[in-house]
Structures are given as C-alpha cells and as structure tokens.
C-alpha cells in the first residue's frame, strides 16, 4: 500500500478509556525508519489544527451497512460433491461435525500432511500394528509369523520372534533418528504383556486374518469400507479387534452409537464373510505398558449396533442428497483438534450466539 499510493493517511487512537494506546509495532517501525532516513516525524501537521476549529464535526464517511454478524455455517451439499464411499473414519467425522466433514471431505480442504523428522504417536501405532500383523500372519520382508498356538512351552520363542520383528520394523526409523530408540523400547517393554494377553486369548479364539481391507455396498451406489486390524475365528463365529495405541473411545460412547468404528467393522466382516460376528473389541496398548480390552461388544448388542449404524448411514446420505444442511456442531472435544476451525469461524459465531442469548443484537 505504501508503494501504491502517492499519499497515505494512517490514523490511530492515542487513548482509550483514558488510557494511552501504544501504536502498532508496524507503525512504530515506519516512524523510526522515517526519522532515521529523513530526520523528520511523520505526523500530519494540519490535522491537529482542524481539531481545534469550532466548526469541526465528526461525520461518518463510510455509509455502507455493517456486515452481517457471523452465523453458524449450515451449508447444503451441492450436487456432485458427495463422495458415497465411506470409511469408518469418514462416517465418524460426519457424526462428530457435519460441517467439518463437508469442508474436509466434500470440498477437500484438509491440509496436506506435514513432513515430520520424528515419529509421531500415530506413526508409532502404525509400526506396532505392522509388528503384530507380521507376528500373526505372513508379511513379506519381515520375520514371522509365529506358526503354533501360543503356550508356556513356546512362550520364550514367541517373545524372541516378536522382538526380532520389532527390531526389523523399527530399523529404518532408528537409522533416521537416534531418538526413535525410545519408541522401540516402549513397544518391546509391552511385548511380554501382549503375549500374556494373546496366550489367554488363544484358548478361545484363533487369529484368522490381519490388516484386512474390506468393502461392502449397503445399498446400490453407497460403499462402506475399512481396514480391520484383526479378525479372529471361533467355530462358526468371528471377532473383530482393533488395536489402540492412542485414545480409545469410552464404552458408553460405543454403546450409544456415537463411536461407530467397531459396529462398522462388525458389519463389514459379517457381510463380507457371511459369518456371524459375535464380538468386537478394542485392545488398548497403553503408554504404561498395559494391554487390556477396554471396549467389548457382543452378540445381540453388537448386531443391533451394526444394523442401526448401517441404517443411519443410509439415512444420512439420503438427507445429504436431498440437500439437508450440514451444520457445524461446535462440540468442544471435536473442535479442539479441528483443521477447519478457521474456515468455520467458530469463535465468531459463538460470540454472536452468546450475545443473542444475552439479549444483544449480536452486532
């Protein structure tokens, strides 16, 4: 702007509520530069004189109406923007905040992934998943799998193998950054605990498949897909497992249908195989080295949730096709990690809503 205009008037408040207002650092830098370069101050000499004129009056030069106060966004989906292929993550995002889903998945405004020099917790989780996949099923280029049912007689061999797999999986990370030893140690400390859990588990369930990518078509044109960490088998029933190295949804959220991953996976595994899925669990691999089942869905409760979740997805997709609005929920737990916060202007419309509630105009 300085370069574009022959003459520029910058105005600023000297005081507010009787207190002196400090000029912006940009303006101070400009003034200092002018003083040093030309030896004079930038004050507009004729303006103070105008203020002392008895005929001087304040008048409003800007006659345009004030902009509308920010409102909670509720866009309707334009035809052609709906992607009718849903992962469990996309479905969850749609439930957590329809506007976030709209901006991230329909407008495709998600920021690109950052290039990281150090492993994140999500990267660590991916490595642990890979270790367990190689331990239970064949992964080209990695040691394993462990071929026999786990028991006291072969427990030491299983531990050696899983440690060897871990060393192979983390090898490149260790070469990249010495600090990654910490992640490897964390997992290796957890291996005995995992094997304890697995040994008990193998009394009733056998590993059937690991890292399975499944896709079904609940209704023509609508696809539901997911990558299941593991499917176990017991006689004529299946169990789906999801390993969690980070936050695990609470049982109450899953029971209430608010956390959809396990029911979606049960629907995928059941429809794909034509076999009853009688159990779905989260296996939490905690930071403290513990390994435990934190969420457990079984039999009728699982079947009902899987059916209800599937039906709800069909219904919600129908509503989006009918141009029903996709509102920003403003749930603080979801907002905390939201990449779309600037776009949705949550802070601005929350202020509007608060001032409306307080009886103000919101302007």
Binding site for ligand SF4 (CB under 6 A): 97, 99-100, 328-330, 334-335, 338, 340-341, 344, 346
Q: How far is the CB of 104 from ligand SF4 (least distance, A)?
A: 9
Please, which residues have CB within 8 angstroms of residue 55's CB and are 6 or more apart in sequence?
none
Q: How far apart are CA 155 and CA 63, in angstroms?
A: 81
Please state the closest distance from residue 111 (CB atom) to ligand SF4, in A.
Answer: 13
Is there a contact between 90 and 105 (Cβ–Cβ < 8 Å)?
yes
Work out the number of other CB atoms within 10 angstroms of the CB of residue 131: 26
What's the rounded Cα separation, in Å, for the pair 136 and 82?
38
Q: How far apart are CA 136 and CA 148, in angstroms?
A: 10
Nearer of residues 102 and 135 to ligand SF4, judged by Cβ: 102
- Pick 75 or 145: Cβ nearer ligand SF4: 75
Helix %, strand %, coil % of the chain (to 5): 45, 15, 40
- Tokens at 182, concatenated: 């910490």
Reduced to 3 states, what is the DSSP secondary structure of residue 90?
Answer: helix
Query: Which lies closer to ligand SF4 via its Cβ, residue 89 or residue 149?
Result: 89
Q: Minimum CB separation from ligand SF4 for residue 236, in Å? A: 42
- Is the N-terminal amide bond of 145 cis, ω within 30° of 0? yes
Q: Which is nearer to ligand SF4, 126 or 343 (CB)?
A: 343
Choice between 14 and 333, CB closer to ligand SF4: 333
Shortest distance in whole angstroms from residue 86 CB to ligand SF4: 18
Q: How far is the CB of 339 from ligand SF4 (least distance, A)?
A: 8
């Amino acid at each position: 702007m300085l370069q574009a205009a022959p003459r520029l008037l910058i105005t600023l408040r000297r005081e507010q509520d009787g207190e002196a207002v400090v000029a912006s650092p940009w303006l101070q830098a400009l003034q200092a530069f002018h003083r040093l370069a030309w030896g004079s101050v930038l004050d507009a000499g004729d303006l103070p004189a105008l203020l002392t004129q008895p005929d001087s009056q304040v008048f409003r030069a800007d006659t345009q109406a004030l902009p509308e106060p920010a409102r909670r966004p509720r866009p309707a989906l334009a035809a052609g923007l709906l992607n009718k292929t849903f992962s469990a993550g996309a479905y969850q995002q749609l439930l957590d905040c329809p506007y976030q889903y709209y901006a991230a998945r329909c407008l495709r405004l998600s920021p690109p992934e950052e290039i990281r020099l150090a492993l994140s917790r999500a990267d660590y989780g991916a490595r642990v998943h890979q270790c367990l996949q190689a331990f239970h099923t064949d992964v080209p280029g990695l040691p394993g799998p462990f071929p026999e049912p786990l028991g006291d007689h072969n427990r030491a061999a299983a531990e050696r193998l899983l440690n060897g797999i871990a060393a192979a999986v983390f090898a490149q990370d260790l070469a990249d950054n010495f600090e990654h030893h910490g992640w490897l140690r964390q997992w290796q400390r957890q291996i005995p605990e995992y094997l304890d859990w697995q040994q008990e588990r193998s009394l009733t369930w056998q590993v059937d498949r690991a890292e399975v990518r499944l896709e079904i078509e609940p209704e023509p044109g609508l696809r539901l897909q997911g990558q299941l960490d593991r499917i176990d088998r017991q006689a004529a029933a299946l169990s789906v497992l999801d390993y969690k190295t980070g936050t695990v949804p609470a049982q109450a959220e899953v029971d209430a249908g608010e956390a959809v991953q396990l029911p979606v996976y049960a629907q995928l595994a059941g429809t794909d195989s034509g076999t009853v899925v009688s159990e779905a669990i989260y296996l939490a691999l905690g930071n403290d080295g513990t390994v435990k089942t934190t969420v457990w869905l079984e039999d009728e409760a699982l079947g009902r949730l899987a059916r209800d979740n599937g039906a709800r997805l069909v219904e919600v997709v129908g509503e989006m096709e009918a141009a029903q609005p996709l509102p920003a929920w403003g749930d603080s737990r979801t907002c905390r990690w939201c990449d779309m916060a600037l776009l949705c202007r949550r802070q601005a419309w929350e202020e509007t809503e608060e001032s409306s509630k307080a009886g103000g105009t919101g302007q």
